[in-house]
Every structure is written in C-alpha cells, then in structure tokens.
A and B are shown apart, each in its own frame.
Chain A
C-alpha cells in the first residue's frame, strides 16, 4: 500500500533518571487516518505524544512530522499541528472567544483572519451562544469542546488529542467522536491517546497498544482481533464421551482454524462464522451428538489487549514496572 507518511517515529527513547518512560518505539502514522495510542496510565502514551508535539526532547531516536524533525525544526512542526491537552487547559477567567483570540495571536493570524476562523469554530463546536461567558461557567463537555476548538484554530494538518473523552458523560463522548470522524472526513490526520478500549475500537483506523514504554502490537482493530485467531464457537455437549469423535471430525475442516477440548465440550476457533457454524451443526447431527449449549464469541479489543499485555487494561500496572 502506497500511502503518504504524516508522522515517522524512529527508535524513540525517553528516560527520566533511571526510569525508561518510552523504550525504543517506532511507528508511522499515515496521512488522513485516525491513529490511536492505547494503553493503561503510565504506559508511555503521553510521553510519546508530547515528543511528537515538540514539548519533550527525546533521549535518543527521532520523531518527524511531515518530514520535519521535532527538535531541529520545532517551530516549523508547531505551525503544522494542533494540540488538545489532557487536562482541562482552560483559563477560567477568560471567555471562550478570548481563548481563541489569544491563540489567534500566538499563531500570528491577522485580526480579520482570526475573527472569521473563530466564528466558524464556535459554530462547529456549538459554543456560539456561550462564547462570551467566562469559561468557569462552562460544563465539562463545553470545556472539552472549547479545548477542541483551540486545537483546531491553527487549521492544523495533524491534530493531537490527549485522552479526548476522559471523564466525560456519554452524550459528550459521542459528540466528541462525531467531531473526530468529521475532521477525518475533511482530510485531517488525527493522533489520539486513550485508555478506553471502546473508543479505540470505534474511532481509530489503526492503533498501537503500548505498555511499559514499548509497542506490544500495531494494526487496525479488525486486524488485531483476527490476529488472535478468529471468532470462537464454544459447544457444551450432553454426552461427554462423544467429544473426541466430534473433535476429530471438525479438525481440518475449511473455515475452522483450531479445535480444543474443554471439560464439557469444544472451543472452536473459526475464520468465518457463516461457513463454520452450519458445518459444525451438521457434523454434530451426523455423529448424533446432542448439544446442550452453544456460544459464539467475537474477540473484542479487550481480548487483544489481554493477549498482548497479559492483563486487562483496567488492572493497575504491576509494582515492578510502575514509575518509581
């Protein structure tokens, strides 16, 4: 596949004292995609993101944004990117409009350019009617919308979002997802960190699972799930002595990747459930196995995460690996 590379991170390391926050990370982000960095807190996502947006200097390795090095050409990089920080980086005493005006000056827009763009952005994030109230009167969702408008003000080629929906209610979350999809539709490249599996699954074209400062796996959500070996059909049989014969019958059939005996039946990994399920039922019928229970599971991103990190994302990082 021949796609333009927007971001190239090459053997990136960042060390604090003796702790390796990011350890030999390499990946590429294609132009026009939504790329996710998924991992638990302290995994190194934010460090990686901060390096890409020129706020951190790598201990070794490089990051280039549209061909520009984040250290040597930091100023050039800053003109290409927009950033939506993780904290509510809002000045409570300024109004929404004043936030955008301040950033307009920092991106060196003329008054007319700034006024025009601020009007468009306030409309986009539906803050027009609240634009002239101090931000301390805003709800969490409104602050997040303002955050995003601030990130979009420079009309960036690449937008960086750090945990964009952390702590938001469901409605606001869905709204933010809508914005992100719309930005992609407009041709923007989006890079986001998240520790929500459903967010990564729903939103990202490709994602990297990061843990302990290393990339554990990288690909599209679908690819990552398929790489686990496909969907699982679990059978519970009434007569346990029939299990071996059914296993022998099913092994090697098309659309079935593997068959494993369990205490009460079989776990069958299948490539395509449409083909596999009828075949399984037909074989069971033919051999006279009566099925007590049948369960069909499509692997979720949770399974991918557990397979690559050895634990669920909600579990805390083991002591030995956490930041000391």
Chain B
C-alpha cells in the first residue's frame, strides 16, 4: 500500500511538472478557450435568446452550466493524450518494465485530469460570478457541481485512455476526438434547453449523459436545492452506470495493450 502510494504520487508529480514547464500551456490551461464560450457566446446571444424558453434571468446564467460541463467534456476526452505520446515514444514501456502496480500510471492520470478540471470549473464559475451569475445553492452547491463534474470526467477520461491504448496512430486519436466533441455538445442541453430543440435532436440529446449532468448543474446555479435535488440524485445514478461502462471498456483496452 505504501509502495502504491509512492508510485502514484511520483507519477502524478510528473504530470504536474510537465505542465509547469510549459509556461504557455499552463496559462492557457487556466485561461481556457471555454471562457470565450461563456463570455462571447453568453453575451452575444443575450438578446437573441428567449428568457421564457431558457427559464433563466439571462442567457449567460443559462449557459454557465453548459460551459462547466463542456469543460469537463474537453478535459476528459483529451485526458488520454499524454498517455498516447508515452505509448508512442516508449516511455510507457519503460514505466511498465518497473515493478509498479499496473494501475498506477492510469490512476495518476485520473488524479491529475480531475484536479485540473476542478480548477478550470472553479475559474468558469468565478468568471460567471463576475457577470452576475451567483450560484443559488452556495458553496455546497459548488461542491456538488464539482462532484458531478468529476463523475462525468472519470468516464470520459477512461474513454480517452481506452482510445489512446487502442489506436494505431495519434492521427486516428485526434480525428475521433474532433469528431466526437461537437455532436456531444450540440446534442445536449448545453446551449438550448431540450424543449426548445427540434424533436429529433431533443430525442437524441436524452441519451447523452452530458444532458443529465447539465440538467443537474443548471438548477444548482439558477434555482436552489428543492428544484435541484431530484436531478442531482438522478445524475449520480446515471453517472455510476456511465462510469462503470467506461471503466470496464478502458480496463479491457488497457489489458489488451499491456499484455
């Protein structure tokens, strides 16, 4: 157990060091493109969006929940990239030839991705706050938002790692990634509530776990606990199933790649 912890903390420190060496990448990790969605998209559609349909005082407060979960989506789907590079340049083999627990590398990646995602979500909520979006459920609500984000992020990161271990080249990886992320966003309640979507889109969006996450985060920001609690309970159940499926698939891909 002591060994396990020594391995995981050393491997996690490596991800932190890498990030801190890349000054620009560090900066853009915090000041992320997702902020532009919030600031530009949120303000741009202020008057175009119907607040009756949104059920929100303004579009930016409606959009905040979507941007939070979009951040989780992007981080999660990109979570396996560094392992992909490790696989391609042989670093992963070097790590795997040492007497470490086979899950240490993966666990360190989960910890790192979740920590970065949490920080980014807090930045999003902070900037939203500056635009007058004050979470209705307070600090405890923010903690709940982080929990939902983590639960969704674990599954996504597992998918990303499974892809990293299975693809033949990193070109394939990025094609699939680019292909996945936009439909995931548009076929969810991130930008428009389900009831304002064309029927076929809202039908598909129901099966998107992202919709469930957003529908729980949104009342935590806009309404309050009484409105939010049933959604929170539901999303935890949905995410447990989602994570179980993703982790199972990820473990299979990992075992296949690592012998």
Interface size class of B (residues with CB under 8 A): 20 to 34
Residues of B within 8 A of A81 (CB): 97
Residues of B within 8 A of A86 (CB): 90
Give the residue of B10, B17, B90, B100 whose beta carbon is less than 8 angstroms from that of A85. B90
Residues of A within 8 A of B6 (CB): 105, 108
B94/A150 in contact, CB under 8 A: yes
**How far apart are the CA atoms of A56 and B3 in the complex, in Å?**
24
B99/A83 in contact, CB under 8 A: no
Which of A90-98, A169-177, A234-242 forms contacts with chain B? A90-98
- Closest-by-CB residue of A relative to B20 is A93
Distance to closest chain B CB from A28 (angstroms): 21
Give the residue of A91, A98, A107 whose beta carbon is less than 8 angstroms from that of B98. A107
B94/A105 in contact, CB under 8 A: no
- Closest-by-CB residue of B relative to A76 is B99
Residues of B within 8 A of A85 (CB): 90, 93-94
**How far apart are the CA atoms of A311 and B169 in the complex, in Å?**
32
A107/B90 in contact, CB under 8 A: no
**Any B CB within 8 A of the CB of A55:** yes
Distance to closest chain B CB from A54 (angstroms): 7
**Any B CB within 8 A of the CB of A210:** no
**Any B CB within 8 A of the CB of A88:** yes
B10/A107 in contact, CB under 8 A: no
**How far apart are the CA atoms of A75 and B7 in the complex, in Å?**
14
In the complex with contacts A93-B22, A102-B10, A75-B99 CB distance below 8 A: yes
Distance to closest chain A CB from B61 (angstroms): 39
**Any B CB within 8 A of the CB of A53:** yes
In the complex with contacts A57-B259, A106-B7, A89-B93 CB distance below 8 A: yes
Decide if the interface of chain A is mainly helix, strand, loop or mixed. Answer: loop
Give the residue of B7, B11, B97 whose beta carbon is less than 8 angstroms from that of A83. B97
**How far apart are the CA atoms of A196 and B13 in the complex, in Å?**
39
**How far apart are the CA atoms of A248 and B258 in the complex, in Å?**
64
Residues of A within 8 A of B96 (CB): 55
B90/A78 in contact, CB under 8 A: no
List which B84-111 residues lie within 8 A (CB) of chain A.
Answer: 89-91, 93-100, 104
B89/A87 in contact, CB under 8 A: yes
Residues of B within 8 A of A90 (CB): 89, 91
List which A262-304 residues lie within 8 A (CB) of chain B.
Answer: none
Q: A54, A55, A134 — which one has the most chain B CB atoms within 10 A of its CB?
A: A55
Q: A57, A81, A102, A154 — which one has the most chain B CB atoms within 10 A of its CB?
A: A102
List which B60-100 residues lie within 8 A (CB) of chain A.
Answer: 89-91, 93-100
In the complex with contacts A89-B91, A102-B14, A53-B97 CB distance below 8 A: yes
Residues of A within 8 A of B3 (CB): 108
**How far apart are the CA atoms of A55 and B95 in the complex, in Å?**
10
- List chain A positions with a Cβ less than 8 A from chain B: 50, 53-57, 75, 78-79, 81, 83, 85-91, 93-94, 98, 101-103, 105-108, 134, 150, 154
Question: Given contacts A83-B94, A90-B89, could you give 7 more A-B pairs where the C-beta distance is less than 8 Å?
Answer: A75-B99, A83-B97, A91-B14, A93-B18, A102-B10, A106-B104, A108-B7
Complex A-B: 27 CB contacts under 8 Å: A50-B93, A54-B97, A54-B259, A55-B258, A75-B99, A78-B97, A78-B98, A83-B93, A83-B94, A83-B97, A85-B93, A89-B90, A93-B18, A93-B21, A94-B14, A101-B10, A102-B13, A102-B14, A103-B98, A105-B7, A106-B7, A106-B98, A106-B99, A106-B100, A107-B99, A108-B7, A134-B21
Q: Which 7 A-B pairs have the closest CB atoms?
A: A105-B10, A87-B90, A89-B90, A78-B99, A83-B97, A93-B21, A85-B90
